Amino acid sequence: MALQIETFSNRIGGFSTFKALGHPLAVEPAKALLKRLREAGPVALYDPLGMAGAMAEIYDLSELEIAGIFVQDVEAVGTELLGQTCQPVTDLVSSGAKAVFIAAFEANRLSDNIAHLVPEGASVTTLDEIRIPSDMQTNQRQYLNNLNWATNFAFFRDGDGHHTRIVTANYWGGYGAKETSVWCCLFDANGDVIADWKEKFGPANGTVVIDSMEVRDRFSLPEFQGQLFLHIIGAAGHDIVKYALDTYGDDDTVLSCTHDANAWPADLFAGLPAPAEGEKVVLWVQNSHPRPIKAGEVGLNRMGRNDITWMNAEIPGFGSYPLNISDLLPDLAWPEQIEIQAGKHFVRPRYEITKSGGQMRISHPNVERVDLKPNPKIPELSNLMGKGFILPAPILPPGRFESLALPTPMATCQDTMPMAAILVDAAGQEIARHSFGCLKRDHSELLDMGALAAASGLDPDSHGHVEIVYDFSEGGEADGWLHSLFRYSDRSSGHAAETSFGAHMFNHILTYKNEPQSYAGRAPGLSTRLFLRLGVAPRDSFCQLIYASSTTWHETSDTTLVLTNAAGEAVAERKVAIPCGGSHFFTHRTTFSAAECAEVGDDGYILIRDTSCRLFGYHGLRHGDTSFSLDHMFGF
């Protein structure tokens, strides 16, 4: 059964209550609080703000002797909570409780308001006893303010020739934050804390780099595979923690990249691929809460099928477990895809694919929406919004790379998926079009984008891109949550990379709900600020920028590539003009001179800035001709 906690609303964003209750620094104080309540005798639980249910999902309250559950809202009187019927708080005085527990933070006023109702001699305890230290609170006047909970998890491993590297920028400084730092808490596979530390951020828009090899050396750690909890202190602007995550190895068979984990545990994730021949697919189930994940609480099923196979393993609080999906679903094979029954136990997970030749890559599924319904207005939008929703992705040079697209259902309402793929060259000219028709939820239809592009005249050494759009020529429904997985393979080395993402509207002055999306304000989003981390030599970073446009926009982009050092200072710039509807591919070390690259070093980045249009970007690393990585970029 899924945890009964609120984690995210597409209307107001993330909820902070579950983060405050389950924060790593709240765990031991919470255990001590519950121990005192157990020893105190009968406990009256006062739940004025509706937090008791969430707390009971994260901590075991079953050993408390409950004298009664009391509420303030008269409409909550008579409802069920923790197996008891809620009573009006006015009945508290006759409860016979030896202790009163107020399930609320900032509870002084709440406590004062019921002082005359507390049974004689009873102690009063509140959630304020589990608050994190005040110097970690960005807003000390409002404990549950979202800026106090700018947190996230990152897959983090070092050992057996495998390493991880997190790179981000102090973009909070760009929103006005003066002193920003990050508290890092490293959990091993058993959920035990093996290191914690604070790192002070430098100037606004400067970089922050956390490398597993350096961390392991600094704290004299044994090999580990677990997760790193990140808590931003002094955030401004927003509470979303974004980063690029590279996995690399002692040899060049291990190289891949992914990004931030979406800090809100979800009921479902989708887009997990079944293994191709000669592949092993491991889903990293990494517990985001202090409570254990019990056997039978996480499961997998073939997308579009209802028969779920449940994981028969327990994962400790904040622990990690490598689930070989073939152990649960042995009969599935690529391009079949898998739905993850996550039950709000973890944030967006990573999956890792190992090929028979030893090459490894890592990627992530996406949140599957449970709140959407088909919107009959979307087919009508083409009258005003042209292509409407567009999902752009690269087509790598077809002479060397295989480029595949696998549309993925990403909402529980998606029983039909009417789609088409438009193939475009770098100049923005359509070279081919493929209709998927009206795909069913359990489909496994692949598009070989590279083969179609080559057959349509794309030069074998040239880059292009695909735009996946809605196509209602054969009917079907739409909800605006159009997704696909994209897989790329090097025909020479055998190395592969993959990424997945969803559609948006691009570069149109009219708006539809929150589209064209803007991360820094209201729609429409008509500008670009993308982050390209640099590769540590001999690896070189690359980027493909795609100027997708729902309708005709400016003839060319006005894009500036700003080579930026770790202090956030511009060292060199290059201008790029991308044709509307086209794309531009570049690498770090061929775009900027050797002297400029040396001046910036490995910890800098390239800021991709354009105030004239919204670009979508994919980035990766190349290690000579043997391995590469690829994922979509983040903006700030």
φ and ψ of 385, to 5 deg: -115, 15
121-135, 213-227, 251-265, 550-564: segment of lowest average pLDDT? 251-265
Question: Cα–Cα distance between 116 and 438 in angstroms, integer?
Answer: 65
φ and ψ of 207, to 5 deg: -90, 155
CB-based burial label for 394 (10 Å; 0-12, 13-18, 19+)? buried
Asked if residues 59 and 38 have their Cβ atoms less than 8 Å apart, the reply is no
Asked if residues 392 and 616 have their Cβ atoms less than 8 Å apart, the reply is yes
User: What per-residue confidence (pLDDT) applies to 9?
Assistant: 55
User: What per-residue confidence (pLDDT) applies to 134?
Assistant: 95
Q: Nearest to residue 315, comparing CAs of 349, 343, 291, 348?
A: 291
What are 1-10's pLDDT values in tens digits? 789 998 865 5
Supply the DSSP string of 173-214, one letter for each residue. HHTT-SS-EEEEEEE-TTS-EEEEEEEE--STT-EEEEEHHH
pLDDT higher than 70, residue 19: yes
Q: Nearest to residue 378, comparing CAs of 405, 413, 346?
A: 413
Report, as an integer, the average pLDDT of 269-285.
97
Which alpha helices (H) appear in 422-539, and where do they start and end? 449-455
What are 152-172's pLDDT values in tens digits? 999 999 999 999 999 999 999
Question: Cα–Cα distance between 151 and 172 in angstroms, integer?
Answer: 13
What are 328-358's pLDDT values in tens digits? 999 999 999 999 999 999 999 999 999 988 8
Asked if residues 366 and 502 have their Cβ atoms less than 8 Å apart, the reply is yes
CA distances from 156 to 180, 186, 212 (A): 22, 8, 7
User: What per-residue confidence (pLDDT) applies to 10?
Assistant: 57
User: What per-residue confidence (pLDDT) applies to 263?
Assistant: 87
- What is the percent of the chain with per-residue pLDDT over 90, rounded to a whole number? 91
Q: Nearest to residue 14, comparing CAs of 195, 280, 240, 178?
A: 240
What are 389-426's pLDDT values in tens digits? 999 999 999 999 999 999 999 999 999 999 999 999 99
Token pair 């997308």 is found at 303
Other CB atoms within a 10 A radius of the CB of residue 605 amount to 27
Tell me: cis bond preceding 516? Omega within 30 of 0 counts.
yes
CA atoms within a 13 Å half-sphere pointing along the CA-CB vector of 422: 20
State the pTM of this model. 0.95
pLDDT higher than 80, residue 12: no
Question: Cα–Cα distance between 302 and 428 in angstroms, integer?
Answer: 37
Tokens encoding 148: 């106090």
- What is the percent of the chain with per-residue pLDDT over 70, rounded to a whole number? 99
What are 20-46's pLDDT values in tens digits? 999 999 999 999 999 999 999 899 999
User: What per-residue confidence (pLDDT) applies to 320?
Assistant: 98
pLDDT higher than 60, residue 13: no
Residues 6+ apart with CB under 8 A from 517: 504, 505, 523, 525
Instruction: Kindly indicate the confidence band of residue 579, based on its pLDDT and cuts at 50, 70 and 90.
Output: very high
628: β partners: 622
What are 72-84's pLDDT values in tens digits? 999 999 999 999 9
Mean pLDDT, the chain, as a whole number? 95
Instruction: Kindly indicate the confidence band of residue 270, based on its pLDDT and cuts at 50, 70 and 90.
Output: very high
User: What per-residue confidence (pLDDT) applies to 334?
Assistant: 98
pLDDT higher than 60, residue 306: yes
Supply the DSSP string of 356-395, one letter for each residue. TTS-EEEE--EEPBSS----TTGGGGHHHHTT-SEEEEEE
Asked if residues 261 and 366 have their Cβ atoms less than 8 Å apart, the reply is no
Instruction: Kindly indicate the confidence band of residue 381, based on its pLDDT and cuts at 50, 70 and 90.
Output: confident
Instruction: Kindly indicate the confidence band of residue 259, based on its pLDDT and cuts at 50, 70 and 90.
Output: confident
Report, as an integer, the average pLDDT of 472-487.
96
